[in-house]
Amino acid sequence: MIKVIAKLTIKEDRVEEFKTFVPGLVEETRKEEGCLSYQLFQDLKNKKVLTFIEDWESMEALQRHMKSKHFQEAMPKIAELQEKEMELSVSNLVI
């Protein structure tokens, strides 16, 4: 299993816009073959910090996701809303 943690810091005045934009991406991603879990969390102390936590069956499934139409279309919009570059961690399940 592959675990992805993608931490975003969204511009303060664009957080609500992000939260209304992203449900379409989440909905389409959850339909993908190989997607075990795809969730978005908002930090309780800093509302600008939103984190995708994803579980994928394999790296191949994750790579297909990154090439999907909905992902490719969402990334430029997400980049526009970000205050700083995304922090990304991709890990393989050990135990």
What is the three-class DSSP state of 31?
Answer: coil
pLDDT of residue 9: 98
Q: Domains, the chain, ranges and CATH?
A: 2-92 (3.30.70.100)
pLDDT in tens, 30-75: 999 999 999 999 999 999 999 999 999 999 999 999 999 999 999 9
> Both tokens of residue 34?
């190989």
Beta strands (DSSP E) in 1-95 are: 2-10, 35-42, 49-56, 82-92
Q: How far apart are CA 69 and CA 67, in angstroms?
A: 7
Instruction: Tell me the whole-structure pTM to 2 decimals.
Output: 0.94
